[in-house]
Amino acid sequence: MKFFVDTAEIDAIAELNALGMVDGVTTNPSLIMKSGRDILEVTKEICDMVSGPVSAEVVALKAEDMIAEGRKLAEIAPNIAVKVPLTWDGLKACKVLTDEGNMVNVTLCFTPNQALLAAKAGATFISPFIGRLDDLNTDGLGLIAEIRTIYDNFGFETNILAASIRTPNHMSDCAKIGADVATAPPNVIKAMANHVLTDKGLDQFVKDAEKAGIKIL
């Protein structure tokens, strides 16, 4: 499973990128707002740092306006994936932009039918939002599983990009189900390293190393 980082914070991306943890980056208008940066400038910086796909989202609602914005975003760098919402207009924009050779990420997906439509429209990525479904006491991971089955049944090449990931367990569960990509905030990716028994075991090793006077350098 590929790891995308769901942020527009340059320092956080750089830290994870240095560890080989960044196969791509996803942003959206909320994350751009949080960064306090200009969308074109910050997206260019991210594209220069990361070789994988960098999703940048349109803000228009009509297909023709989304297409114009998508073309402008795609000019930033060859690794831009234009992000469009899963509306009828978004699907129209997806078809045009993918036909022009751009990567397109269709976002705000909450049902298998929406994912089916995105694949038919040629989407490079479909972004089901699992955390927001869990918030409503519904089954976010179940949606990933349903889309996996549908895409595999018919050989759709659209990549399942699990989004709205909130916990380390979401990451391992998405990997088990077979999501192609999971995009998560930096703190969730870092939290995947944590275990209380790791901390406890290390504490004991440190104490014993001191007692035994072990020195390596």
Of the CA atoms within 13 Å of residue 174, those in its CB half-sphere come to: 30
- Minimum Å gap between C-beta 183 and ligand G3P is 5
Q: How far is the CB of 174 from ligand G3P (least distance, A)?
A: 12
83 is catalytic: yes
Nearer Cβ to ligand G3P, position 48 or 135? 135
Which of 96, 129 has the CB closer to ligand G3P?
A: 129
CB 26 within 8 A of CB 9: no
Judged by beta carbon, residue 114 or residue 164, the one nearer ligand G3P is: 164
Other C-beta atoms closer than 10 Å to the C-beta of 197 total: 7
- Active-site residue among 2, 44, 83, 92? 83
Q: Which residues bind ligand G3P (CB under 6 A)?
A: 6, 26, 28, 129, 131-132, 163-164, 166, 183
174 torsion bin: left (phi>0), alpha (psi -120 to 50), beta (else): alpha
Where do we find the tokens 């400038």?
41
Residue 85 C-beta: closest distance to ligand G3P, Å:
12
H helices of the chain, in order, are 10-18, 29-35, 39-49, 63-74, 88-99, 112-120, 130-135, 140-154, 168-177, 186-191, 196-212
Give exposure, 18-46, as e/b (b: 16+ Cβ within 10 Å): eeebbbbbbbbeebbeebebebeebbbbb
22 half-sphere exposure, CB direction, 13 A CA radius: 27
Provide, rounded to whole angstroms, the least separation between the CB of residue 155 and ligand G3P: 26
Choose between 46 and 96: whose C-beta lies nearer to ligand G3P. 46
Residues tagged active-site: 83
